[in-house]
Structure 1
Amino acid sequence: MTVIESKSIINQPVEKVYNFLADCNNHEKLMPENVYNWSSTKDEASFTVQNMSKLALRVSERKENQEISIVPSEKAPFDLTLSWKVKSIDPSTSEAVFTIQADLNMMMKMLASGPLKKLTDYQTTKLKEELES
């Protein structure tokens, strides 16, 4: 299992960070430009990644002010789990950690690790920008 992770310190209370991430409609704001055909509800999102494939994801678990786990709701190119873990540093500051766990064979790992790392870094940066603006 390949694990790719990125974290960000956000100047907002943990409840605000959690509530933003718990709603899949907000995740479109965290996506890079190569994501299009976005469609979402509070619990699900589907989109197309340019030069790759269409993905459909759903929230599999929510632990209030702690964690949101997201899994494919349709067949994906490989098994994966996305998770956001949030914790309070102090009443007005939170840490958000975005983790992608992907079941990649050696070839897929070589091809996908770089783009997946860029994605996790991009999303944690965008989350900070979105919530602090």
Structure 2
Amino acid sequence: MKLESKKTIIPKSAEETYHFLSDVKNFEKLMPENISKFEVLGEDKFLFALKGMPEIVLKKKEAIPYNKIILGAAGGKLDFSLTAIILEITGDSSEVQLKFEGEFNAMMGMMIKSPINKFLETLATNLPKEV
């Protein structure tokens, strides 16, 4: 399953946006209102839960300065990644698109597609307000 958020313009340079997204504790500011738990587990790992959903642990897997940050599932039964693609538009603005990728059976895919799409759009919408 591959899902993408809309492209979002951030009123900060690609470098500033990258540094914001590189700090996992900043993801708490981007979470939807229905978050029931957020906990930083280390410099590159955090746990979160949305109401009615299981806890998810994300770990920073790869970071390419000013262009890309890849978070992946850390443990658990589901293997997926959340990638932030950062493009510099001007010296003081950048564009971010979030991409979700995971392998799920058909039933699981149908159940999680809508909530994940909504989650990606919420993160993308909150980015310009928080960076």
TM-score range with shorter-chain normalisation?
over 0.9
Map 1:1-133 to 2 at 5 A. Answer: 2-6=1-5, 7-40=7-40, 41-76=42-77, 78-131=78-131
After TM superposition, the score normalised by the length of structure 2 is: 0.92
- Per-residue CA shift, 1:37-91, capped at 9, x if unaligned? 2111431101222212111111011111011111112214x21111111010111
Q: RMSD of aligned C-alpha atoms? A: 1.2
Work out the CA distance in 2 between the residues paired with 1:9 and 1:74: 32
Unaligned runs of 5+ in 2: none
Could you list the per-position Cα deviations for residues 8-60 of structure 1 after superposition, in whole angstroms to 9, with x for gaps in the alignment?
11111111100000010000111112222211143110122221211111101
Gaps of 5+ in 1: none
Task: Say how many residue pairs are matched.
Answer: 129
Mapped to 1, the partners of 2:43 and 2:125 lie a distance apart of 22
d(CA) in 1 for partners of 2:48, 2:118: 18
Matches of 1:51 and 1:120, distance apart in 2: 17
**Partner AA of 1:82 in structure 2:** L
